[in-house]
Amino acid sequence: VGKPYPPVEYGEYLKLDRLLTSQLPKSVEHGRPAHDETLFIIVHQVYELWFKQIVHELDSVLEMFRQDSVDERNIGVAVTRLGRVTEIQKLLIDQLRVLETMTPLDFLDFRDLLLPASGFQSVQFRLIETKLGLKQRVALEKLPSPGRAPAEQEDALRRAASEPSLFELVDKWLERTPFLELPEYHFWASYRAAVDDMLAADRRTIEANPTLSEAERLVQLQEHERTAASFEALLDEPTHDRLMREGSRRLSHRATLAALLIHLYRDQPILHLPFRFLTLLVDVDELLSTWRYRHALMVHRMIGTKIGTGGSAGHHYLMGTVERNKIFTDLFNLSTFLIPRSALPQLPPEVERRLGYHFPRD
């Protein structure tokens, strides 16, 4: 019995010779060393490493959802992996604080030496957005000219843009949920009655609110009308499809209803993991928006309202991406249609039985 594997050395295994010799400040190269440029490089490199890990996790989740029928056991694995992604995202947001120990003046010592490099050109960041399902965002022309970015990274981005994203796969997965095929079950009629009651109560509250001026009351009533109209769209497939064509809905009608049922009846054991999975998608999206916002704030304090090294309007451009670049907006919007547990239509016993964990009796 000899040693089955050759011994492994810490530094060799981690390729530290390459990793730790990859910080080459431009300010040093140009003979005017700026102390903080090392921090600037290392912070960006650490980001890219974490981006790589996020891509690795997303790829495994995408693989599970690419199957014609998603193995139920995989939902638990997807929940674990997306949970890991969200923990990394929290680090990524916090990490900006380290970079903010560099003052704007210190940044000016080397900023001009970096033109036209920019976070715009982070292929891995685009890869994450694309794999999650952000549309019209590949913007390959913003990437470094051919030969500058690793070719395999660019290829990966093109491939990701041509393959179904997590958004699209989740859409299909929700559409396949068997929960919608309930025999003899008039769920939607009872649900509609419960929501109508809720909306009527909201309306009465607005009408009777003594603190509102007439003008404010009018605004609130109009807002209420919009909520009622979007509820109509939820239950009416042609209206929903029209909103999809207009771009204000992205999840299909069937998938939206399935997601809503999962939210409403998440206390049923079998729906619990799908519920956690959908919640994590919202978490990932929210943390990405938080990062965008946080990065935009940092950019504001670092460069004020100057344009970016990548040529954008800088802070203003970045603030715009916070709202514009949400992916799972339809899942966020579902909360509009949630009703209290007490008002929820009772599931027929047969359905309830099918949704529980139960052991067949001999």
Binding site for ligand HEM (CB under 6 A): 43-44, 47, 99, 107, 118-120, 122, 125, 295, 299, 302-303, 308-312, 314, 317-318, 321
The least distance separating ligand HEM from the CB of residue 104, rounded to whole angstroms, comes to 8
Closest by CA to 277, choosing from 54, 63, 55, 74, is 74
Nearer to ligand HEM, 23 or 227 (CB): 23
The 10 Å Cβ neighbour count of residue 166 is 22
The least distance separating ligand HEM from the CB of residue 103, rounded to whole angstroms, comes to 10
The least distance separating ligand HEM from the CB of residue 120, rounded to whole angstroms, comes to 5
The least distance separating ligand HEM from the CB of residue 321, rounded to whole angstroms, comes to 4
Phi-psi region of 4 (alpha: psi -120 to 50; beta: other; left: phi over 0): alpha
The least distance separating ligand HEM from the CB of residue 57, rounded to whole angstroms, comes to 17
Nearer to ligand HEM, 137 or 192 (CB): 137
CB 57 within 8 A of CB 127: no
Kindly provide the residue ranges of all beta strands, DSSP E only, lying in 21-165, ordered along the sequence: none
Nearer to ligand HEM, 75 or 99 (CB): 99
For residues 329, 330, 332, 335, the Cα torsion angle rounded to the nearest 10 degrees is 160
Nearer to ligand HEM, 41 or 270 (CB): 41
Nearest-5° angle of CA 234, CA 334, CA 242? 35
DSSP structure class, residue 38: H
The 10 Å Cβ neighbour count of residue 125 is 18
Nearer to ligand HEM, 126 or 263 (CB): 126
Nearer to ligand HEM, 224 or 300 (CB): 300
Nearest-5° angle of CA 177, CA 181, CA 185? 135
Q: Which pair of tokens denotes residue 188?
A: 């939607």
- DSSP, residue by residue, 328-346: -HHHHHGGGG---GGGSPP
- Maximum alpha-carbon separation in the chain: 88
The least distance separating ligand HEM from the CB of residue 251, rounded to whole angstroms, comes to 23
Nearer to ligand HEM, 76 or 311 (CB): 311
CA dist list (Å): 272 to 158, 183, 334, 351, 357? 35, 22, 17, 16, 11
The least distance separating ligand HEM from the CB of residue 312, rounded to whole angstroms, comes to 3
